A and B are shown apart, each in its own frame.
Chain A
Amino acid sequence: MSKIMIVDDSRTSRKILRSLLEEEGYEVIGEAADGKEAIKLYDQLKPDLVTMDITMPEMDGVEAVKEIKRLYPSAKVIMITAAGQKGKIIEALKLGVDDFLTKPYEREYVLETIHKVLG
């Protein structure tokens, strides 16, 4: 089963997503609470997919994706965002983010999106 890394500054949000994914048989191999930690962890774990919250302190999701994609152009990333964040969404699209999800997580939509991105 595919290996997923969750990046979100909220422990609660990571927990909600982890439990949803694990219930469906995905393996959550790592969690990071900010962009810098995410880059380090990606390098160590090389997950099949990263879910990346766009709004985080320290280094936000867009900056982290920029670095991950620079180092690993084939990295698959789903950005967690709100439709209102147009500026950041455009930046993320330019960086080659694979898809977007919004909170609160809708189980069916999350699974459908992940399935689509992982092919």
Chain B
Amino acid sequence: MFCRCFGNYLLEKNIISSEQLSTILEYRRMNRVKLGLIAVDLKLLTKEKAEEVNRLQATMDRRFGDIAIEKGYLTENDVTKLLALQGNPYLIFVQAVTENHILSKETVDVCLTGFQKDNEFSDMDMEAIKNGDMDTIVSLFINVGKEYSELISLALRNINRFISNDIAMGKLSICKELSYQHIAFQRMNGAYDALLGFACNHKELLAMAVPYGKEEFTSIDADSLDAVCEFCNCTNGLYASKLSHDNIDLEMLPPQAGNDIILTSEGDIYDLPIQVDGVWVDMIVCMREECKVTSIAEDRRNA
């Protein structure tokens, strides 16, 4: 989330080009943060000492941590701490831009201050964004009630976990009616009605279906929509499990898919565009009021 969001910000400000953003995202997909960079960022090592260990590592078949411990630069506890931070979104971004000679770490930090100021984020908010804390990120970028934000952040965490680590959120819109060419969704009922779905107007849902189903789908058909349905099912299952700890029972209904459909509700339908591997799909969430899903043909017949 950090790489795409902050990358988009730098692109909008003309600090990086779209090609450079692609390079950063590709690098992020293929690499983990180097221990030396984390150690310098945490001020456990100076830049010079980290470079020295890197140089030694290049000539020996040994790990960074082992060399640093042997030289007396780091303790075993330090190395454990560094290993835990290898997936840190901010640090991988810094590594991507520096290793590809796009920006220096100093420039990244100056731009981050601008990003923080432009969005009026606190220091604590910025730490959460840099660490990829999805609950905080959702609450900062979209202003919705707790029920909505819990389901949305859970869905985003699952996209990150099972589909892609290259995701970003667009601008949330709230409406009473929406139409799509393709949708995969699942309803829950019980303590209240809820619906989670993903929709698109061309083939965008393939960005979710292919990695989740681990199959090279090339068109939106029953099988590719089934993969997205199953993603909804797993996400809703975790959501329902979480609620059950608070004695709120939601029953999940079989997931469904549809083509050329209209969604309508007396309540609010939340439509959150999500960028998955550079492709925009719409996450649909509706709670408390029933969300009707009808085919456009049926809707015309009823009109």
Contacts and interface: CB of A to CB of B under 8 A. Distances in A.
Given A11-B226, A12-B230, A15-B213, A87 B240 contact: no
Given A9-B254, A11-B223, A104-B162, A84 B243 contact: yes
Contact of B230 (A10, A82, A88): A10
Interface in A64-88: 81-88
Interface string B188-217: 001000000000000000000000111100
A47 B238 CA distance: 29
Interface residues of A, number: 21
B212 A83 contact: no
Given A11-B223, A12-B213, A103-B237, A86 B252 contact: no
Given A13-B233, A102-B241, A104-B234, A82 B252 contact: yes
Nearest to B255: A10
User: How big is chain B's contact interface, by range?
Assistant: 20 to 34
A86 B223 contact: no
Contacts of B214: 15-16
Given A82-B238, A85-B240, A55 B252 contact: yes
Given A84-B190, A84-B241, A88-B251, 20 more contacts: A10-B233, A12-B212, A12-B223, A12-B230, A15-B214, A16-B214, A55-B252, A57-B254, A81-B237, A82-B244, A83-B240, A84-B243, A84-B248, A85-B249, A85-B251, A85-B252, A86-B249, A103-B234, A104-B237, A104-B238
Interface of B: 158, 162, 190, 212-215, 223, 226-227, 229-230, 233-234, 236-241, 243-245, 248-255
21 contacts: A10-B230, A10-B255, A12-B226, A13-B230, A15-B213, A15-B214, A16-B214, A55-B252, A55-B254, A56-B254, A82-B236, A82-B238, A82-B244, A82-B252, A83-B245, A84-B248, A84-B250, A84-B252, A87-B251, A104-B162, A104-B234
